A and B are shown apart, each in its own frame.
Chain A
């Protein structure tokens, strides 16, 4: 079983739609959580950190459920420019800052 699991998609949605991605992680010692966005053949870019209380950044909302070891990302009012792969990332913080990535969920927003 992979340490961080995501539905690979693709999720095909129309502009303006709301879309949600889920992610589960297996290591209960994980301490920090992030969503990264990666465009085709580019580097991952930090989208947002995920906090236990949940956090929002404009159209993006991230939630963390430590008991279920589950992370989510909600995108409201999807734009064409949101088309990308979204990577769920956890950090065990046991001896530094090693990020463990999920395989990514591909989102395609259509006009």
Chain B
């Protein structure tokens, strides 16, 4: 049973560029959440997708957008990259329903130069 997968593993971008990160949820899961983890801090919630719609959003600007596909996989897009966007981006999957456990993928480490 494949767990949560993410691609790419690492990415280096220049300030002002755009980036797309991808996530495939664990088999049987239909909900995908994205988190940003800066060095030395806990992950921060960006947004969550269910039934191809953004269901909930954290305190992140509109430069951060996402999408969920019919097969439940998801993308995170970040426009106009800033140096401060450098972080580990984590995708977590779960089944729908409040309080359900979330399982994380290995993350994409984004460096903005």
Whether B42 lies near A97 (C-beta < 8 A) is no
Whether A43 lies near B106 (C-beta < 8 A) is yes
Q: Which of B8-61 contact A (CB under 8 A)?
A: 31, 33, 35, 40-45, 48, 50, 55-56, 58
Interface residue total, chain A, C-beta cutoff 8 A? 24
For B51-77 the 0/1 string (1 means CB < 8 A from A) is 000011010000000000000000000
A43 shortest CB reach to chain B, Å: 4
Whether B41 lies near A98 (C-beta < 8 A) is no
Whether A46 lies near B48 (C-beta < 8 A) is no
Whether A97 lies near B99 (C-beta < 8 A) is yes
Query: Which residues of chain B are near A101, meaning CB under 8 Å?
Result: 35, 42-44
Whether B45 lies near A98 (C-beta < 8 A) is yes
A85 to B64: give the CA distance in the assembly, Å. 28
Query: Which residues of chain A are near B48, meaning CB under 8 Å?
Result: 96-98
B99 shortest CB reach to chain A, Å: 4
In the A-B complex, the 7 residue pairs with the closest CB atoms: A101-B42, A93-B98, A32-B99, A43-B104, A96-B56, A103-B42, A96-B55
Give the A-binding residues of B (Cβ under 8 A): 31, 33, 35, 40-45, 48, 50, 55-56, 58, 88, 90, 92, 94, 96-107
